[in-house]
Every structure is written in structure tokens, then in C-alpha cells.
């Protein structure tokens, strides 16, 4: 019998938790009523969680609740959190992987603390120089993986090459039939463009490019991120963070202006079209950044997302474990040695 | 009598030139029929320019045409262009500033060549460590200046401080009654965030902040660029270029999806609302990046813009000279010494 996919969820992290986390779980259970290959573990305040399980009509044999006494607050720094965090929902949710109980951990709590605690508990994989935070980004043909989104604000060429292997493994776990095309973010697409660091990384990725791990697609510029010609986009955490947030800000600016421009009549007649538009670009669909390069995957949900957004991050956890993320990562890291 | 504002225009650079450049001039002349404080000089192929002047009914006393024998092509590298460029429309358009004829130069031609030629001819101002390319960026309350957009992919703290002085001077030339608020682009708004370079720059900008030159507003993240709480946003040319292009790509992605989502009926009923929306966000309005830090300003129009876009870049030239850009820059650079 195949082992079930076991997802550890920090039920307490993020705004409006555990309401939104448990509602997110109920959405996931409804979507997967005929699907029994997974198991969900909820970490947090037992009393609060149980009352929400009741509210959302989740029976006690569908999930397992593990009581913890405290939570990591949003304004806590990694330093204080480490001292005080061993009985928090976040710590136990991640620690569950080291005792072999769970395959993946999900939290909507404090990002800084989550990254530090995850690294402390799960430890970096042998062949990885730095772990990275990868995000999903919509494009014209489907979906990109972009990394690093801010875990490492300064990177060398080995870090960027590792990101290419990690990101490609993530992409393959989500789309097992695709060969990921990797691009390096730059200020121009010609080989002479960019910093020395990017030129060195370019050479290394060119040498590593193959049919089994990833195909290197060269440089791309910011305006090509959403074109869909690349599947995995590599950059340092500073640039990736600025690019992601600039895209979020631009999207907000445009949709806010669109709302202001539409009058009552036009809203009435374009209601369904606009609903489709909104649905397609709903940022909740891409909720969940994946912390890669540790001996176990950790998914960070946006703190401010709602139950639907949290549902998508549970779904992401389920999919990447079903797609054998950790095996894909190990294969890709072996490939590194061929360089 | 006050000296007229004299704008030198490379009539041949960019797609569809000189058609679009001369049509852009005709739009500018129409907008300014009661305004006689400027003079326009057109550099390029006399025969071609004259035929377009006729087509757009521009009389010969409204502009002055200076014939040049060749043009800088789009695929030329700066290296070959320097050798062969002394009789091009671009070279002569910029060189006109050194003989005191003109106040500002505008071209829609090859960006790389324009930056190199401008620097060669106009030379860097004494107190400037590196010249920068600044752009206009719409925000919720009006307009930002963002720099550097790609002239310098690696910067030190003195470069970034210079950009703050140059960008504030540009902002004041456009909005003489405003006190520019300067922000530094980072991956978080707390003081502990970011690279050592940014922390050093933060300290220097904090010390320089005053009522006369600029007020330092601290760090901002990518999603705050379009919020309108800052007027001048400082970053290195690599990050600035990626941010700008990512914003362009995101805007295109969203508006393309909006078009696809709207059906015939909703388009019909929202036509005027959508026109307003389109008009407000029209990227042609922000056409024109300003090369700052040389002994004379150079404006780069998008090569692919149309006549209306080119009109906006002429208007930008006119406004920043009317707002005494070079005096503002000199004042701000003197301020540097107070640090």
C-alpha cells in the first residue's frame, strides 16, 4: 500500500486564523471527497480548532489535531522566536517532518521566523549552497516558477545555479510531462548584457542544460516574465522580491483604475465578463511560496489571504508531494555534479 | 528679452521616423499656438523632413531644419557608431548643445549609442559620479520619477546619493511648488532590511534630507512605487530596469486579459468608460526617459512610440527646461557638499 501524502498545517498563522485555515481545509476536503490518498495534521490551539472543525462540519476522522500552547506573533523577530517557539504551532508543524510523520509543512505565519525555524529544524540539503523561496507567477500560457523571492538578497553564481535545479524540480513536480525551460533575469537578452555574476551563471547553466533536468533558455527581461516562453525564472532574492512586489503593485494600480473608470451601466453590462477576468487573474490562485533546498518542503501562504487562498496553498502542498518534489530535487542535485 | 527655450530634435531616430517625429512636432505646435517662448531645431535628411513638414502643414518659420547625411541604425553598437556617427542626426542633435544653440536634445534612436554619444559630447558634470537614466512612472496621486533605469547596472552609495539629487532636481523642474520626497527601493521598509550598500545610502540620504532639496522618506518596496507617497524613487540601474519592465509586462498581461474577457455586449456598454481608463493609463503619456548628470539634458523617447508618444516627449523637454532643470541640478549638487 502506498503511503498517504501527509500535510502538516500551522492552523494559527496569518490573519483571521484559525477561521480561514480551517475553512480552507474544508474547501480542500470538499474538492477531494473521492480522493483518499492524503492525510491532514492541524497544529494549534485544540479548543479553537475543534470549534471551527464543528462550524465547517469537518469530522474528526478527516483530520488530526495536535495541540500546541502558543503561536508565533507577526511582530516577533527570528531571534526571540527561536528562544520561545518550541511549543508554537509553527515550530511543531515543521518539526513534524523530522520525526517522519509528515511530508510537507504549510503556514501563513510570520515569514522571517518561518524561514529561520525551517532552516534550523530541517537543515539544508547536502549539495545546496543556499535555500530559496520560489513563487508561482501566472503567464500567458500557464504558470512560471520564479526564485529567489527574497530569502537571499545577495547571491553568487553557485547559488543561482542551485536555484535553477531546485526551481526545475519544483516545476516538474507540478507538470510531470513538461521539460522546464530555465531563464535568467537580466536587463537585456543579448549575451553581453548584465553583471559578471550573470555572465558566469549563464555559462554554467548553458553547460548544464539537457533534456532530463532543464533546458536553458538564456536571458530574459522583466517584460518577458509573463510571456510564457520560460517556465523557471532565476534571479537573486533582492531583484526577485522587487520584481514580484512591483508586479503586485502594478496589478493593483490597474485594477483599481479600472474599477474607478467603470460607471454603473457599464458595470451592469460587463458584470459576467469582468467576473471571468477577475477569476482568471485572482492572486489567491497563486498563493503559496515554496521554501526549497531543505530536507523537506515548507510552503508559506500569504498572511492576509482568505480561506480560498489558503485552500490553494493546501492544494499546492498536495500537488508537489504527489509529483514527488523531493525525488525530483535529489535527481536535479545529482545532475549538478556533471558540470 | 528672455531667451527662448530651444529644443533639438533628432528627426530620424526610432520606428516610422521622420513621419512620427514631424507629426509629433505638429501636435506640439498646435498645443502651443499662443505660446511663442520656444524654438524647435530638426536634425536629419532635409528632403525627407521638408516633405513631412509640408504634409503636416508646418510652415518653415516655425522650425529650423539642419541637414545631416546619415543616421544611427538600431543595430549599431556604440563602438562602431562613435567612429561613423559625426554626421548623423543623433550626433548633431546632441552636439548642438555644446555650441550653445540648444537647451535640450531629444531622440527616439538607438539607446545604447545615445547614452555613449551624449556622455562623450556633453561630458559629466563635475560633482556627479555617474549619470543616470530617469523615467516618469504614474502613481495613484500623479507621477513619480524613478532612477536609474539601466544606465548603471552596478552602483555604490555615492552614485545612489547623486541619483537622489538629480532625480529631485528633475521633479522640481516639473513641479516647482512641490518638495520632492525621496525613497530608496528595498525588499522591506524596516531599517534593518537590505544590503550594506542600501544601509549606507540610507544614512547618507537621512543626513542630506532638508526642506530645500529633498525630504528623505526611507525605504519602500516594489508594491509601493505606484502608491504615490514618494516622488523620487532611487535604485541601481539593474533593479530599476527589471522593475520598470516587469511593470510594463504586468500592465500588458492584465489589459490583454481584460480585452479577451470582454464580450461584444459588454464592450459596447463600457466603451466610454474603457476609453477613459485607457486614456488615463496610456503609456505614451510617460514616454521619455531623461539622461541626467551631463552638462546638458538628453531625452530618450521610446523607439516604438507613435506621433502622440513623441509629442509627449517634446512636451517633457519643454517643461523641464521651462522649470530650469539645469539650475535645479546645480543647486542640488552644491547641497551634496553639505553632507
Q: So what's the pLDDT on residue B15?
A: 94
Distance between B288 CA and the closest CA of chain A, angstroms: 18
pLDDT of B242-259, one tens digit each? 999 999 999 889 888 887
Degrees to nearest 5, angle at CA B9 with B5 and B14:
150
> Most B CBs within 10 Å: which of A238, A275, A278, as the mutation test of the B interface?
A238
Could you tell me which chain A residue has the CA closest to the CA of B77? A192
> Most A CBs within 10 Å: which of B246, B255, B257, B273, as the mutation test of the A interface?
B246
Q: Which pairs from A2-5 meet CB under 8 Å and 24+ separation?
A: A2/A37, A4/A36, A4/A37, A4/A38, A4/A39, A5/A37, A5/A38, A5/A39, A5/A103, A5/A104, A5/A318, A5/A321, A5/A322
Whether the CB of A279 is below 8 Å from some CB of chain B: the reply is no
Please give the span between the terminal C-alpha atoms of chain B, in angstroms, as a whole number: 38
Average pLDDT of the residues in B174-194: 92
Residue A197 CB neighbours (<10 A): 16
CB contact under 8 A, B258 and A261: no
Average pLDDT of the residues in B269-294: 81
Q: What is the DSSP string of A87-134?
A: TBHHHHHHHTTTTTS-SEEEE-S-HHHHHHHHHHHH-B-TT-SS-EEE
The backbone region for B64, taken as left when phi is positive above 0, alpha when psi lies in -120 to 50, beta otherwise, is: beta
CB contact under 8 A, B139 and A239: no
Whether the CB of A109 is below 8 Å from some CB of chain B: the reply is no
CA–CA gap between residue B13 and residue B4 (Å, rounded) = 25
CA–CA gap between residue A246 and residue A268 (Å, rounded) = 31
pLDDT at B339 over 60: no
C-alpha pair distances (Å), A38 with each of A7, A99, B115: 8, 18, 59
pLDDT of A26-43, one tens digit each? 999 999 998 889 999 999
Q: Which position has the higher pLDDT, B283 or A50?
A: A50
Tell me whether residue A3 is exposed, middle or buried, using C-beta atoms within 10 angstroms of its C-beta: 0 to 12, 13 to 18, 19 or more: exposed
Global pTM?
0.92
Q: Which helix (H) or strand (E) holds A233?
A: strand A232-234
Q: Which position has the higher pLDDT, B332 or B36?
A: B332
Phi and psi at B106, nearest 5°, equal: -130, 130
Tell me whether residue A73 is exposed, middle or buried, using C-beta atoms within 10 angstroms of its C-beta: 0 to 12, 13 to 18, 19 or more: middle
At residue B214 the predicted structure's pLDDT band, cuts being 50, 70 and 90, is very high
CB contact under 8 A, B266 and A263: no
Nearest to B182 by CA among B151, B200, B205: B205
pLDDT at B270 over 70: no
pLDDT of A127-165, one tens digit each? 999 999 999 999 999 999 999 999 999 999 999 999 999
Coil/strand/helix, residue B152? coil
> Residue for cell digits 541626467?
B292
Could you tell me which chain A residue has the CA closest to the CA of B193? A153
Q: Which helix (H) or strand (E) holds B32?
A: none
**In A, which residues are within 8 Å of B271 by CB distance?**
266
**In A, which residues are within 8 Å of B199 by CB distance?**
none
Whether the CB of A240 is below 8 Å from some CB of chain B: the reply is no
pLDDT of A261-292, one tens digit each? 776 666 666 666 677 777 777 888 888 999 99
Whether A105 and A300 have beta carbons less than 8 Å apart is answered as no
Percent of chain B with pLDDT strictly greater than 70 = 95
Strand order in the sheet with B38-44: B63-67, B38-44, B5-10, B104-107, B298-300, B289-292, B132-139, B142-147, B232-234, B181-185, B215-220
Degrees to nearest 5, angle at CA A311 with A309 and A314:
115
Please state which of the ranges B21-35, B270-284, B309-323 shows the lowest mean pLDDT: B270-284
> Most A CBs within 10 Å: which of B76, B242, B259, B265, as the mutation test of the A interface?
B242
* Distance from the Cα of residue B327 to its chain's centroid: 18
CB contact under 8 A, A269 and B265: yes
CB contact under 8 A, B261 and A250: no
Q: So what's the pLDDT on residue A265?
A: 63
Comparing CB atoms, the residue among A153, A222, A237 nearest residue B244 is A222
Could you give the domains of chain B? 5-125+294-324 (3.40.718.10), 132-261 (3.40.718.10)
Q: So what's the pLDDT on residue B260?
A: 78
CB contact under 8 A, B239 and A237: no
CB contact under 8 A, B246 and A246: yes
Whether the CB of B309 is below 8 Å from some CB of chain A: the reply is no
The backbone region for A16, taken as left when phi is positive above 0, alpha when psi lies in -120 to 50, beta otherwise, is: left
C-alpha pair distances (Å), A156 with each of A139, A195, A199, A201: 27, 11, 11, 8
The DSSP output letter for A294 is: B
Q: Which position has the higher pLDDT, B180 or B36?
A: B180
Please state which of the ranges B191-195, B255-259, B320-324 shows the lowest mean pLDDT: B255-259
Comparing CB atoms, the residue among A139, A194, A226 nearest residue B153 is A194
Whether the CB of A264 is below 8 Å from some CB of chain B: the reply is no
The ipTM assigned to this model is 0.90
Residues 6+ apart with CB under 8 A from A250: B226, B246, B247, B250, B251, B254
Average pLDDT of the residues in B203-221: 94
pLDDT at B271 over 70: no
Distance between A269 CA and the closest CA of chain B, angstroms: 5
Whether the CB of A4 is below 8 Å from some CB of chain B: the reply is no
Percent of chain B with pLDDT strictly greater than 90 = 75
Exposure string over B321-335, b if 16+ CB within 10 A, otherwise e: bebebbebbebbbeb
Q: Which position has the higher pLDDT, B264 or A262?
A: A262
Average pLDDT of the residues in B84-98: 93
Q: Which residues of chain A have pLDDT under 50?
A: none
Amino acid at each position: 500500500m502506498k503511503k498517504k501524502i501527509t500535510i502538516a498545517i500551522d492552523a494559527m498563522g496569518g490573519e483571521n486564523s484559525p477561521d480561514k485555515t480551517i475553512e480552507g481545509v474544508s474547501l480542500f476536503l470538499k474538492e477531494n471527497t473521492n480522493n483518499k490518498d492524503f492525510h491532514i495534521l492541524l497544529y494549534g490551539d485544540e479548543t479553537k480548532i475543534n470549534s471551527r472543525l464543528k462550524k465547517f462540519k469537518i469530522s474528526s476522522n478527516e483530520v488530526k489535531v495536535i495541540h500546541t500552547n502558543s503561536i508565533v506573533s507577526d511582530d516577533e523577530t527570528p531571534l526571540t522566536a527561536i528562544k520561545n517557539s518550541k511549543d508554537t504551532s509553527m515550530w511543531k508543524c515543521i518539526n513534524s517532518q523530522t520525526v517522519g510523520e509528515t511530508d510537507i509543512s504549510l503556514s501563513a505565519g510570520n515569514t522571517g521566523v518561518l524561514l529561520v525555524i525551517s532552516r534550523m529544524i530541517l537543515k539544508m540539503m547536502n549539495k545546496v549552497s543556499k535555500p530559496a523561496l520560489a513563487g508561482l507567477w501566472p503567464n500567458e500560457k500557464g504558470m512560471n516558477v520564479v526564485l529567489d523571492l527574497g530569502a537571499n538578497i545577495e547571491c553568487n553564481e553557485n547559488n543561482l545555479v542551485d536555484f535553477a535545479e531546485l526551481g526545475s524540480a519544483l516545476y516538474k513536480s507540478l507538470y510531470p510531462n513538461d521539460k522546464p525551460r530555465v531563464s535568467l533575469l537580466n536587463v537585456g537578452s543579448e549575451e553581453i548584457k548584465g553583471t559578471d555574476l550573470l555572465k558566469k551563471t549563464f555559462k554554467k547553466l548553458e553547460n548544464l542544460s539537457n533534456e532530463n533536468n532543464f533546458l536553458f533558455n538564456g536571458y530574459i527581461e522583466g517584460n518577458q516574465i509573463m510571456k510564457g516562453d520560460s517556465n523557471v525564472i532565476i534571479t537573486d532574492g533582492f531583484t526577485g522580491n522587487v520584481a514580484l512586489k512591483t508586479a503586485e503593485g502594478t496589478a493593483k494600480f490597474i485594477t483599481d483604475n479600472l474599477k474607478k473608470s467603470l460607471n454603473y451601466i457599464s458595470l451592469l453590462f460587463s458584470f459576467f465578463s469582468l467576473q471571468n477576468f477577475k477569476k482568471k487573474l485572482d492572486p489567491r490562485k497563486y498563493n503559496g511560496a515554496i521554501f526549497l533546498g531543505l530536507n523537506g518542503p515548507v510552503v508559506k501562504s500569504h498572511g492576509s489571504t482568505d480561506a480560498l487562498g489558503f485552500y490553494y496553498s493546501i492544494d499546492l502542498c498536495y500537488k508537489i508531494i504527489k509529483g514527488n518534489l523531493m525525488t525530483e530535487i535529489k535527481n536535479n542535485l545529482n545532475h549538478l555534479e556533471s558540470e
